[in-house]
Amino acid sequence: MMVDLEKGNTAILVVDDEESLRLTFQMFLVREGYGPVEVASTYEEALALIDQHDFDLVVSDIVMDGASGIDLLRTIKEKGVACPVVMVTGYPNINTASEAVRLGAFDYLAKPVKKEDLLRTARMALQQYALLNANNLLVQEKDRYRKYLEAVFRSVRELIFTVDPQRRIVEFNGNAARWLAGFGVEDISGRQLTDVGPCLESFVADIDSVLANQQEVPEHRLELADQAGQPGVYRVSAVPLTSDAGVFLGVVLVARDVSRLEALEKKGRRDRLHRLIGSSRPMQTVYTLIENVGKVDTTVLIYGESGTGKELVAEALHAESPRRDMPLVKVDCTAIPENLLESELFGHRKGAFTGADRDREGRILSADGGTLFLDEIGDISPMMQLRLLRFLQERTFYPVGRDRSITVDVRVVAATNADLRHKVQSGAFREDLYYRLKVVDIVMPPLREREKDLDILVHMFIGRFSTRLRKEITGISDQALQVLRDHDWPGNVRELEHVLERACVLCDTTTITSDHLPLELQEKERPARPLQPAEKLLEEENEEVRIINTLSRTFGNKAQAARLLGIDRSTLYRKLKLYNIDPDAVVAS
């Protein structure tokens, strides 16, 4: 979304203790049409102007006599001033950039500052600020629709209608629209209940009861004829819809075709969707969310422990979307060194940095028209968080070393096993990026909460590995299956997969037995304790062996291995690359 700027009504403050630079920046901005453009030479002058005026942008040098630009940035944020701040420095370094980004700077420019760089950065910062201001005007309306959406997702739904206190129909879902179309009724938004026709007469009493008492009408059953006049039974419930402040917004009515659902139950629950396997109730919820959200071109954030199948959810969302025939590009944000991730995502121009011997289009451009899957998004650096936020806001980006922006049509699906809400509270993850990603979230349940899915997965993996290994393994003994059922699976489905691959490799008969399972499972040993600081990786000659042994203990679960080793997961990925260690090969050995 682009917002048009009224340049002549855009207030900018330039802070620099060098008069020539201060006046040059002012001249560049004024000639571009911005104004008024104020200037200050010290921290104190800048604060005095900020207290007197509302600025849309602050451009400040970092190094000044007395208090620094970083001090000014910190004070601005403490005062609650929302306008973007661009830092200027003659001594750029990673620590300065990280500190500025951590404190909320929009961007920083290295001296000598070119006119086009200043104007481009100012334009982008002001566009974002204007967008945020425009969004703030829509907060109440968005909150209202968010409440509608949450109520819909909480409900077990077939036909869904929302009605305001004046008995006007506000929203209805796709199933309700198709059901009404069968009666020849279309475009009911904003119409009074009594104007729609006899097809909704059976629901009016429940809606009026909630409107009168603002109390839920318990679920009950109604006999309703369908479009062909055939009798059917619907389970109907109506609940009040209220805001966080307790304001009554209307009624949500849900009607379910009981006969249809009972017929589906007789056929049994689905045990798979694309590459996802499981018939448990939590997985049925995941399947329904994927089918509903997949068709809507919105950003999705997938939560789940390591090994639960977040990547498979991303694949299923892509397969359910209108983009299914376009690329699905996957990026593991922790597998790519931090200094290369920007180039890997956004691409670079030849000569942009040492080693850039050719143009590279980057993963985002490769996903144009399709879906971009960002795995482990919670581990990216503050600088990458800022760049990704800009891309999500504008759907445009600048490859490294290129001045002209590129616009793409990409759906973003992200995944994490981290508690992003906690990271936001601790300042490790940008709040604005968190809400940009979390338009809709899907939570993958851990294997220990998936009822009897383990049995289905066990037989599926046995069939897969027996075919791959060209063995005639037809099943598993009751005792071995019970051992698997008794394990709590901290590594989830991935751990189960590795255990069964190992068992199939060792199995020389048609049946997997307890002897083919790891001793840790058979003896029900307690999980390995985390290493104490003195036990962590200290000696270079022991490092490779320690990593291999720990991966073996965790069945290839890299997140758990990193915790046991007492190192960050990104550090573990670098060590794996350094020593050329394949976790899958470690588990299979």
350 and 412 in a common domain: yes
Asked if residue 547 is part of any domain, the answer here is yes
Which one is predicted more confidently, 530 or 150? 150
Give residue 501's pLDDT band: very low, low, confident or very high (50, 70, 90). very high
pLDDT of 398 reads: 80
Pairing mode of beta strands 411-416, 231-242: unpaired
Under DSSP, is residue 358 helix (H, G, I), strand (E, B) or coil? coil
CATH of the domain at 40: 3.40.50.2300
Give residue 498's pLDDT band: very low, low, confident or very high (50, 70, 90). very high
What average pLDDT is seen over the chain?
A: 82
Structure tokens at 396: 């445009």
pLDDT of 315 reads: 95
**Residue 582 parent element (H or E):** none
Q: For helices 569-579 and 558-565, what crossing angle results, to 10°?
A: 100
Query: What is the C-alpha separation between 368 and 391, in angstroms, rounded?
Result: 13
Mean pLDDT of 435-454: 88
508 and 419 in a common domain: no
Beta bridge partners of 257: 234
103 and 25 in a common domain: yes
Query: What is the C-alpha separation between 300 and 278, in angstroms, rounded?
Result: 22
Instruction: Give residue 36's domain range.
Output: 7-136
Burial 475-504 (b: 16+ CB within 10 A, else e): ebeeebbebbeebebbbbbbbbbbbbbbbb
348 and 296 in a common domain: yes
> Which of 242, 266, 290 is a domain's end point?
266
Question: Is the C-alpha dihedral spanning 118, 119, 120, 122 positive or negative?
Answer: positive
CATH of the domain at 471: 1.10.8.60
Tell me the pLDDT tens digit for each residue of 353-369.
Answer: 666 667 778 888 899 99
Position 538 pLDDT exceeds 60: no
How many C-beta atoms surround the C-beta of residue 158 within 10 A? 19
Pair 61, 15: CB distance under 8 Å: yes
Give residue 530's pLDDT band: very low, low, confident or very high (50, 70, 90). very low
Position 457 pLDDT exceeds 90: yes
> Which of 71, 105, 136 is a domain's end point?
136
Position 298 pLDDT exceeds 70: yes
CATH of the domain at 382: 3.40.50.300
Which one is predicted more confidently, 140 or 364? 364
**Residue 233 parent element (H or E):** strand 231-242
Tell me the pLDDT tens digit for each residue of 562-584.
Answer: 777 777 676 787 788 888 888 77
pLDDT of 137 reads: 63
The predicted model scores a pTM of 0.51
465 and 416 in a common domain: no
Query: What is the C-alpha separation between 435 and 422, in angstroms, rounded?
Result: 13
217 and 97 in a common domain: no
Structure tokens at 35: 């104004």
Asked if residue 2 is part of any domain, the answer here is no
DSSP state of 516: G
Asked if residue 24 is part of any domain, the answer here is yes
pLDDT of 58 reads: 94
Query: What is the C-alpha separation between 158 and 557, in angstroms, rounded?
Result: 40
> Which of 414, 440, 466 is a domain's end point?
440
pLDDT of 492 reads: 92
Position 533 pLDDT exceeds 50: no
Q: Helix/strand/coil (H, E, C) string of 184-226?
A: CCCCCCCCEHHHHCHHHHHHHHHHHHHHHHCCCEEEEEEEEEC
Pair 413, 302: CB distance under 8 Å: yes
Query: What is the C-alpha separation between 502 and 587, in angstroms, rounded?
Result: 7
Under DSSP, is residue 28 helix (H, G, I), strand (E, B) or coil? helix
Structure tokens at 299: 């950003």
> Where is mean pLDDT largest: 394-403, 442-451, 557-566?
442-451
Under DSSP, is residue 236 helix (H, G, I), strand (E, B) or coil? strand
Pair 442, 293: CB distance under 8 Å: yes
pLDDT of 344 reads: 84
Query: What is the C-alpha separation between 301 and 442, in angstroms, rounded?
Result: 6
Structure tokens at 211: 């409107």
The tally of domains found in the chain comes to 5
281 and 350 in a common domain: yes
Mean pLDDT of 425-436: 89
DSSP state of 85: E
Position 504 pLDDT exceeds 90: yes
Give residue 141's pLDDT band: very low, low, confident or very high (50, 70, 90). low
Q: Which of 75-79, 264-268, 519-523 has the lowest mean pLDDT?
A: 264-268
- Give me the numbers of helices (H) and strands (E) for the chain, helices first please: 25, 21
Q: What are the C-alpha distances in Å from 579 to residues 336, 481, 547, 573?
A: 16, 36, 10, 10
Position 461 pLDDT exceeds 90: yes
Structure tokens at 326: 């376009």
pLDDT of 534 reads: 33
350 and 421 in a common domain: yes
170 and 116 in a common domain: no
Asked if residue 1 is part of any domain, the answer here is no
CATH of the domain at 573: 1.10.10
Mean pLDDT of 239-256: 86
pLDDT of 467 reads: 92
pLDDT of 528 reads: 44
425 and 298 in a common domain: yes
Under DSSP, is residue 60 helix (H, G, I), strand (E, B) or coil? strand
Give residue 146's pLDDT band: very low, low, confident or very high (50, 70, 90). low
543 and 501 in a common domain: no
pLDDT of 264 reads: 47
pLDDT of 589 reads: 62
Asked if residue 82 is part of any domain, the answer here is yes
pLDDT of 3 reads: 42
Mean pLDDT of 542-561: 78
Which one is predicted more confidently, 560 or 327? 327
Asked if residue 527 is part of any domain, the answer here is no
Asked if residue 229 is part of any domain, the answer here is yes
Position 425 pLDDT exceeds 60: yes
Give residue 63's pLDDT band: very low, low, confident or very high (50, 70, 90). confident
Structure tokens at 501: 């691959």
Position 309 pLDDT exceeds 70: yes
Mean pLDDT of 269-290: 87
479 and 420 in a common domain: no
Q: Which of 29-33, 50-54, 186-190, 516-520 has the lowest mean pLDDT?
A: 186-190
pLDDT of 535 reads: 38
pLDDT of 164 reads: 92
Structure tokens at 375: 């795995």
pLDDT of 410 reads: 92
Asked if residue 453 is part of any domain, the answer here is yes
Q: Which of 205-214, 308-317, 394-403 has the lowest mean pLDDT?
A: 394-403
Tell me the pLDDT tens digit for each residue of 325-352.
Answer: 999 999 998 888 877 888 888 887 776 6
